[in-house]
């Protein structure tokens, strides 16, 4: 008589010495690793969201540095730029005016003191050489934010931001030329 297939399972072999709790330990380790990966992933996601919401937009404590709205005839010199001014240094933006006009603008050291100057290219070269020079606009000292409104003739000019502190600073700035 043929034997019928039975659903009897073979008896498990007893674990060898030291293997009895290997499976729970592995599960615990896998659980810890999975938890750490999940935590790091969530932290990266939150960091990305915060960065995306704060970069490119001014925070609530910054000053408004927008120049008066540019008219169709106006010439943009700086367009809401974020400029790095390294420690104990300065940065500049040179521009040329083909016609006389009014240069309007503003700057914000984002909580940090900065000096701003607007001068001719010739005066700028004297200033960089340490010689006496004149400026059409000078903040007068190191200030957190400021605005300028200067009448200029056609010519080459330089807008300078100077940082005398020992730390790098980001300056928000803009400037437009409105024909006179």
Question: What topology is assigned to 75-179 in CATH?
Answer: Jelly Rolls (2.60.120)
Residue ranges covered by each domain of the chain: 19-55, 75-179
CB of 122 closer than 8 Å to CB of 158: no
Per residue in 104-152, pLDDT (tens digit) is 999 998 888 899 999 999 999 999 999 999 999 999 778 889 999 999 9
According to DSSP, the residues that pair with 84 across neighbouring strands are 170
pLDDT at 153 over 60: yes
Closest CA to 152 of 77, 81, 84: 77
Query: Residue 54's pLDDT is what?
Result: 43
Taking only the tens place, the pLDDT of each residue in 17-63 is: 555 555 556 556 656 666 655 556 545 545 545 444 444 433 333 33
């Amino acid at each position: 008589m043929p034997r019928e297939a039975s659903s009897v399972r073979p008896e498990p072999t007893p674990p060898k010495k030291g293997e009895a709790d290997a499976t729970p330990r592995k599960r615990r380790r896998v659980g810890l690793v999975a938890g750490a990966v999940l935590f790091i992933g969530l932290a990266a996601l939150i960091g990305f969201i915060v960065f995306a919401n704060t970069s490119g937009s001014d925070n609530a404590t910054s000053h408004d540095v927008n120049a008066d709205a540019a008219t169709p005839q106006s010439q943009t010199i700086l367009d809401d730029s974020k400029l790095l001014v390294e420690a104990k240094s300065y940065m500049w933006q040179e521009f040329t005016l083909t016609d006389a006009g009014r240069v309007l603008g503003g700057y914000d050291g984002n909580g940090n003191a900065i000096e701003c100057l607007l001068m001719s290219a010739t005066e700028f070269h004297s200033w960089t050489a340490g010689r006496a020079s004149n400026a059409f606009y000078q903040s007068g000292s190191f200030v957190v934010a400021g605005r300028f409104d200067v009448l200029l003739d056609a010519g080459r000019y330089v807008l300078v931001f100077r940082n005398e502190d020992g730390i790098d600073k980001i300056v928000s700035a803009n400037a437009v030329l409105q024909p006179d």
